[in-house]
């Protein structure tokens, strides 16, 4: 399949440039896990709050951070990198002169986004296991949940970014939409603490669903219904992203 | 030449220190020159001849390695800010302030010279007119064409009413029409008595603008004088250019030399050049030798020929 | 040396240039306020509910965190200005190449930029204090001292940032800066007191300029007045001045090469 060639192109590029992603994809979540999870966790556990359902703050925070980092990676790869690739000197400009169709270019890039989310999440899950977070092997179940969360942002981001003319727009969106979501989707504190009106809005955010999914799987508190509902919500975002991207990629690349 | 000298250089050298993997490099190798008020003085030479290094020393932004340099009677090593406040500089790449508009570029630049705000505002009116940029006054610099940017850079350099204006390759990179507009602006400055120092590798520019020229090559001044003097002293009045099939140029040149045609024969990659006081006569002689060039051209000798004679190389590679 | 010394007038003309650009729009100030305010609400109030009181200090958690986030706001405003913005001016816009031929010396340029950095940390800092006031997090009149303190923080990180910028090769080096700034933000007692650390780790934390900045703002903001803030003042003044001197020296070589 030709999309595979497009994916291999991005892998080849990544083999040269992976060092540049270490900070955002690996160092960033690790540092938050240490600084907030352990450091601030020290204070939280000292306070003996019952809000977290009896788990340590690190155990509460880590799976939430896994989902939030997957979102960041998915958005950075699907937003900035796609906008760059679609630009006047970007990789898509070369790709369209080959037999690749726009939908194949898109599929290849989505495969790469999935690869990026999966590898960075896997490293983080390994670290979580080292920290003793999670109930046995359940922590592994958080990995597909993180992948789904990352793609739920990566695919719609790619659908939007392929038509964006200035990279600054992806940075603005990150700052004004992704960053607030990062801080208010139940990663740092429990959404149950919020007043009911705000709680309803906050739980509807895609990241809140990803956080809840990763957390319930990691801690072994998941039920079949909640997993199905949350995963269904995130999957719907991925599908919508892909359907729209098929249109926007064609519109931009075969204009 | 009226009044005392504005610039005086004796045995001036500039050596750049060795850096990682780059040996030390002597860009200017012992040059002498002087400049009087109201003169237009040019440094003519190819890229790498040491022109820009000389200009930076004159502008008091690059320390002199050895030799002496006086600018406006001052020593650049100790009175840099004082010298810079009385000269104007038009750098080779415009480096306009991209975060500001055209008018703001002039205003902010004037403030660097400590000029009062109302003085700058008054001068901006005249400078915008001079640079033919009145309609672009509030445009962002990004939107200007290459020629407009260069005119703005020149206007900017005049904000402090400098006693000497240094122009480094003022028309490099401009299209022919923009060059002529710019030359016209420089003539006006010359007419108004501004002292100009210009570097260029265009002989037509040097010939048209400069009262006096220093021909530079490999860090040295190889000849100095007015354009006319240089041509008279170093080359014949006329030049005959002959073009044959490229592979026979060397052989043809040998035959022409053997026939003692003209004063001197040069072989360039695409043509053979015959220096003779009467080009038409030389051309007749060529035909009499039953040589049939693809094209033949008789023209007046230029500074390009002077440079070729002095260095054995072309100005523009 | 050709570029020696600075004068108030020449330095001021560069500050004036920068001010002309800052005052065009308020949105950069608002943008630089957004992130700290979000952190304050999310961690200060959200996680604060889980923490309750900070051990050893009798204030609610959000009031404990707020002055530290104020310190990071001043730090980021000045530091980003001196790294990202100045690097763009050096490499992309070539702004200084146009200034070097004017009477301004390199010392004027370096000092003018650092002063601009200090001033650019003023508005976000005042804005953040107003947000604290609105959220009921002002607990002592000592809060008034945090504004001059934030300017000193701006000076320290402005000077340091300018020095760092002279070592950057290209934009990808900003990753390395992130790798220093992020852990400092997370570990310099922004979110919890020094007592959380084991004894051996404390001196390491205390050396961080952000730790000293947080001390300088947090104590007066909480109504604690202790001689140790004099240490912070001297330390930050030294960091800023050393950075400024180093930057001037290195810029002389880079801009006059």
pLDDT at C1: 41
Tracing tokens 């030399």 back to the chain, one arrives at: B257
Partnered with residue B87 across adjacent β-strands are: B164
Whether residue B212 is predicted with pLDDT greater than 60 in this model: the reply is yes
Q: How confident is the model at residue B316 (pLDDT cuts 50, 70, 90)?
A: low
Torsion of CA A141, A146, A147, A150, to 10 degrees: 170
Q: What is the pLDDT at residue C193?
A: 92
**Chains within contact range of chain C (3+ C-beta pairs < 8 Å):** A, B
pLDDT above 50 for A206: yes
Q: Is residue C2 part of a domain?
A: no
Count of structural domains within chain C: 1
Q: Could you tell me the residue range of the domain that residue C158 belongs to?
A: 8-255
Average pLDDT over residues A92-96: 85
Q: What pLDDT band is residue C3 in, cutting at 50, 70 and 90? A: very low
In a domain, residue C93? The reply is yes
Contact residues, chain C, for B84 at CB < 8 Å:
101-103
Which residue segments constitute the domains of chain B, with CATH numbers given?
2-231 (3.40.50.300), 236-300 (3.30.70.980)
Please, what is the average pLDDT of chain B? 89
Beta strands B195-200 and B212-217, pairing class: unpaired
For chain A, what is the total number of helices (H) and then of strands (E)? 14, 0
Question: Do at least 3 CB pairs under 8 Å connect A with B?
Answer: no
Tokens of C241: 């001045």
Q: Among A126-130, B66-70, C237-241, which is the least confidently predicted range?
A: A126-130
The answer to whether C111 faces chain B, any CB pair under 8 Å, is: no
Lowest mean pLDDT among B29-33, B146-150, B250-254, C133-137: B250-254
Contacts of C9 in chain B (CB under 8 A): 114
Q: Is there a domain that residue C84 lies in?
A: yes
Residues in chain C: 257
Question: What integer pLDDT is reported at residue C152 of this predicted model?
Answer: 98
Average pLDDT rounded to a whole number, residues A14-29: 81
Over residues C62-97, the pLDDT tens digits come to 999 999 999 999 999 999 999 999 999 999 889 999
Please count the residues of chain A: 255
Provide CB contacts within 8 A for B268, sequence distance 6+. Answer: B314
In this prediction, residues C142-159 reach a mean pLDDT of: 97
Q: Does C25 touch chain A (CB under 8 A)?
A: no
* Interface pTM, i.e. ipTM: 0.89
Q: Is the model more confident about A1 or about B220? A: B220
Mean pLDDT on C154-171 = 95
Long-range contacts of C16-20 (CB under 8 A, 24+ apart): C16/B108, C16/B111, C17/B97, C17/B100, C17/B108, C17/B111, C18/C112, C18/C113, C18/C116, C18/C120, C19/C116, C19/C119, C20/B100, C20/B104, C20/B108
Give pLDDT tens digits for B83-125.
999 999 998 888 899 889 999 999 999 999 999 999 999 999 9
- B184 shares contact with chain C (CB less than 8 Å): no
Three-state DSSP at B211 gives: coil
Per-residue model confidence (pLDDT) at position C4: 60
In a domain, C52, yes or no: yes
Optimal mutation site among A29, A32, A35, interface C, most CBs of chain C within 10 A: A35
**Residue pLDDT, tens place only, A239-254:** 999 999 999 999 998 8
The mean pLDDT value of chain C amounts to: 92
Q: How far apart are CA C83 and CA C243, in angstroms?
A: 12
Q: How confident is the model at residue C99 (pLDDT cuts 50, 70, 90)?
A: very high
**C1 in a domain, yes or no?**
no
- Cα dihedral: A118, A123, A128, A132 (round 10): 120
Model pLDDT, residue A10: 87
Q: Give the integer Cα–Cα distance in Å for B96 and B106.
A: 10
Distances from the Cα of B280 to the Cαs of B237, B254, B300, in angstroms? 12, 20, 11
Tell me which residue has tokens 């040589």.
Answer: B291
Which residue, chain included where needed, has tokens 């010939």? B207
Query: What confidence tier does B211 reach under pLDDT thresholds 50, 70, 90?
Result: very high
The answer to whether residue C22 neighbours chain B at the CB level (below 8 Å) is no
- In which element (H, E) is residue A158 found? helix A138-161
Q: Identify the pLDDT of residue C221.
A: 95
Closest CA to A147 of A83, A245, A251, A217: A217
Which residues in chain C have their CB less than 8 angstroms from residue B76's CB?
2
pLDDT tens per residue across span A101-149: 899 999 999 999 999 999 999 999 998 988 888 777 888 899 999 999 9
Residue C3 lies in a domain: no
pLDDT higher than threshold 70 for residue C199: yes
CA distances from A28 to B81, C171, C186 (A): 47, 19, 10
Q: What are the structure tokens assigned to C24, written together? A: 């065009």
The pLDDT, as a whole number, for residue C2 is: 43
């Amino acid at each position: 399949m030709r999309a595979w060639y497009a994916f291999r192109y991005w892998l080849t590029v990544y083999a040269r440039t992976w060092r540049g992603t270490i900070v955002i994809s690996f160092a960033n979540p690790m540092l938050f896990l240490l600084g907030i999870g352990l450091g601030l966790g020290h204070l939280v556990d000292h306070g003996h709050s019952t809000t977290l359902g009896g788990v340590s703050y690190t155990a509460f925070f880590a799976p939430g951070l896994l989902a939030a980092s997957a979102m960041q990676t998915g958005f950075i790869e699907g937003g900035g990198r796609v906008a760059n690739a679609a630009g006047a000197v970007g990789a898509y400009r070369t790709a369209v002169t080959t037999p690749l169709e726009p939908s194949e270019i898109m599929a290849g890039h989505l495969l790469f986004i999935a690869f990026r989310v999966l590898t960075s999440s896997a490293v983080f899950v390994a670290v979580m296991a080292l920290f003793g977070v999670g109930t046995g092997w359940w922590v592994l179940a958080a990995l597909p949940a993180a992948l789904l969360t990352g793609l739920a942002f990566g695919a719609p981001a790619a659908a939007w970014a392929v038509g964006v003319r200035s990279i600054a727009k992806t940075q603005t969106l990150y700052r004004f939409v992704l960053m607030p979501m990062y801080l208010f989707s139940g990663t740092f504190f429990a959404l149950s603490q919020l007043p009911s009106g705000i709680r309803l809005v906050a739980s509807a955010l895609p990241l809140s669903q990803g956080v809840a999914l990763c957390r319930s799987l990691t801690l072994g508190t998941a039920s079949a219904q909640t997993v199905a509902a949350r995963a269904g919500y995130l999957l719907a975002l991925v599908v919508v992203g892909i359907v729209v991207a098929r249109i926007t990629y064609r519109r931009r690349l075969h204009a | 030449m009226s009044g005392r000298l504005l610039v005086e250089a004796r045995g001036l050298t500039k050596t750049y220190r060795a850096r990682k993997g780059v040996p030390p490099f002597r860009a200017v190798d012992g040059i002498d020159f002087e400049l009087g008020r109201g003169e237009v003085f040019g440094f003519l030479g190819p890229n790498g001849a040491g022109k820009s290094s000389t200009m930076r020393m004159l502008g008091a932004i690059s320390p002199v390695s050895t030799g002496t340099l006086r600018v406006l009677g001052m020593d650049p090593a100790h009175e840099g800010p004082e010298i810079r406040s009385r000269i104007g500089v038009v750098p080779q790449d415009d480096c306009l302030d991209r975060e500001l508009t055209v008018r703001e570029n002039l205003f902010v630049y004037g403030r660097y010279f400590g000029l009062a705000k109302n003085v700058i505002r008054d001068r901006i009116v005249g400078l915008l007119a001079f640079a033919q940029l009145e309609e672009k006054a509030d445009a962002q610099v990004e939107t200007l064409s290459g020629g407009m940017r260069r005119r703005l850079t020149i206007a900017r350099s005049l904000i402090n009413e400098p006693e000497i204006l240094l122009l480094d390759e003022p028309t490099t990179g401009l299209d022919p029409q923009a060059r002529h507009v710019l030359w016209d602006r420089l003539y006006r400055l010359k007419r108004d008595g501004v002292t100009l120092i210009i570097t260029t590798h265009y002989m037509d520019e040097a010939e048209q603008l400069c009262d006096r020229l220093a021909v530079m090559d490999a860090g040295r001044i190889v000849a100095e004088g007015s354009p006319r003097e240089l041509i008279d002293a170093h080359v014949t009045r006329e030049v005959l250019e002959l073009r044959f099939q490229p592979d026979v140029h060397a052989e043809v040149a040998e035959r022409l030399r053997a026939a003692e045609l003209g004063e001197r024969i040069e072989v360039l990659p695409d043509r053979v050049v015959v220096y003779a006081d009467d080009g038409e006569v030389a051309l007749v002689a060529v035909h009499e030798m039953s040589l049939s060039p693809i094209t033949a051209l008789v023209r007046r000798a230029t500074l390009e020929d002077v440079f070729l004679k002095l260095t054995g190389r072309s100005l523009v590679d | 040396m050709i570029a020696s010394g600075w004068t108030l007038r020449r330095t001021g003309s560069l500050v004036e240039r920068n001010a002309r650009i800052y005052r065009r729009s308020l949105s950069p100030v608002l943008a630089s306020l957004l992130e700290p305010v979000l952190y304050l609400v999310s961690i200060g109030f959200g996680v604060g509910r889980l923490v309750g009181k900070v051990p050893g200090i009798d204030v609610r958690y959000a009031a404990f965190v707020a002055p530290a986030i104020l310190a990071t706001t001043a730090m980021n405003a000045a530091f980003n200005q001196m790294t990202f913005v100045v690097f763009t001016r050096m490499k992309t816009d070539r702004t200084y190449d146009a200034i070097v031929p004017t009477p301004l010396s390199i010392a004027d340029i370096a000092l003018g930029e650092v002063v601009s950095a200090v001033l650019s940390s003023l508005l976000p800092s005042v804005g953040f204090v107003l947000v604290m006031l609105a959220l009921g997090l002002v607990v002592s009149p000592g809060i008034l001292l945090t504004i001059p303190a934030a300017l000193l923080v701006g000076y320290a990180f402005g000077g340091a940032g300018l020095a760092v910028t002279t070592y950057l090769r290209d934009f990808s080096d900003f990753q390395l800066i992130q790798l220093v700034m992020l852990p400092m933000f997370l570990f310099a007692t922004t979110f919890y007191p020094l007592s959380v650390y084991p004894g051996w780790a404390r001196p390491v934390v205390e050396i961080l300029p952000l730790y000293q900045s947080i001390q300088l703002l947090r104590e007066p903001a909480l109504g604690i007045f202790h001689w140790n803030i004099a240490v912070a003042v001297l330390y930050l003044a030294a960091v800023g001045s050393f950075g400024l001197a180093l930057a001037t020296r290195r810029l002389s070589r880079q801009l006059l090469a």
